[in-house]
């Protein structure tokens, strides 16, 4: 009995049977945002993607941690930020690949993180009925310059 319980808990924890992001009340909004990102990336629309980034953006450039401080820096370094591995993960992710926790939302192994960012002072009461609807989603971190075992390659 204990073994069955441990297996069930492991599957729930790692999202093999359910999507842990779906328990956050703003999950459906996160998926809509992610679709917008996927569409812009398919079109290679650097300008649109630069408008959905929270600056400074934490990422890696040339093997080092970096902060991308402006839209201009982001557009200039776009191909380094959205390297082939990150592009593959994002473009081949499904709604079930999107999951969230207290840090925000991501896909698969954390290639990109995004979250609902609220203007200061507008989203203070977590029990308020509109708590999960006041903000706007932005990309907050990229874990580029890493290898991701993209499912499309299999």
Compute the distance between CA of residue 56 and CA of residue 152 in angstroms, rounded to an integer. Answer: 31
Give the model's confidence band at 9: pLDDT under 50 very low, under 70 low, under 90 confident, else very high: very low
Q: What is the pLDDT, as a whole number, of residue 22?
A: 59
Q: What is the residue-averaged pLDDT of the chain?
A: 80
Report, as an integer, the average pLDDT of 37-64.
Answer: 96
113 and 82 in contact (C-beta within 8 Å)?
no
Q: In the chain, what are the domains?
A: 25-120+129-153 (3.10.450)
- When pLDDT is averaged across residues 8-21 and rounded to a whole number, the result is 42
Helix (H) or strand (E) holding 6: helix 2-13
CA distance 140 to 53: 6
Q: Mean pLDDT, to the nearest integer, of 19-33?
A: 79
Using an 8 Å Cβ cutoff, are 92 and 148 in contact? no
Backbone angles phi, psi at 19, to 5 degrees: -100, 110
pLDDT over 60 (residue 26): yes
Query: Is the pLDDT confidence value at 12 over 90?
Result: no
Is the pLDDT confidence value at 3 over 50?
Answer: no
* Sheet containing 53-61, strands listed edge to edge, beginning at the edge strand earlier in sequence: 64-68, 53-61, 136-142, 112-117, 104-107, 98-101
Residue 153 has pLDDT above 90, yes or no: no
Looking at the DSSP bridge assignments, the partners of residue 29 are: none
What torsion do the CA atoms of 127, 113, 138, 140 make, to the nearest 10 degrees? 100
Q: CA-CA distance, 49 to 5, in Å (whole number)?
A: 43
User: Which pLDDT value is given to residue 31?
Assistant: 95
Question: pLDDT grade, residue 152 (50/70/90)?
Answer: low
**pLDDT digit string, tens, across residues 100-148:** 988 899 997 788 999 988 766 666 666 776 666 667 899 999 988 666 6
pLDDT at 36 over 60: yes
Please enumerate in sequence order all residues whose Cβ is within 8 A of that of 152, keeping only pairs 6 or more positions apart, or say none: 88, 91, 92
Residue 98 — φ and ψ, nearest 5°? -80, 125
In the chain, pLDDT over 70 holds for what percent of residues? Answer: 69
User: Is residue 57 scored above 70 in pLDDT?
Assistant: yes
Are the CB atoms for 140 and 74 separated by under 8 Å? no
């Amino acid at each position: 009995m204990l073994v069955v319980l441990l297996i069930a808990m492991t599957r729930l924890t790692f999202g093999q049977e359910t999507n842990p992001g779906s328990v956050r009340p703003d999950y459906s909004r996160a998926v809509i945002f992610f679709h917008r990102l996927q569409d812009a990336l398919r079109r290679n629309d650097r300008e649109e993607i630069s408008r959905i980034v929270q600056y400074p953006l934490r990422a890696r450039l040339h093997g080092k941690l970096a902060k991308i401080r402006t839209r201009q820096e982001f557009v200039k370094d776009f191909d380094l930020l959205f390297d082939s591995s990150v592009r593959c993960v994002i473009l081949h992710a499904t709604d079930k690949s999107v999951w969230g926790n207290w840090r925000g939302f991501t896909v698969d192994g954390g290639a990109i993180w995004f979250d609902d960012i609220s203007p200061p002072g507008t989203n203070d009461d977590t029990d308020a009925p509109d708590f999960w609807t006041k903000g706007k989603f932005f990309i907050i971190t990229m874990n580029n310059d890493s290898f991701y075992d993209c499912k499309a390659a299999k």
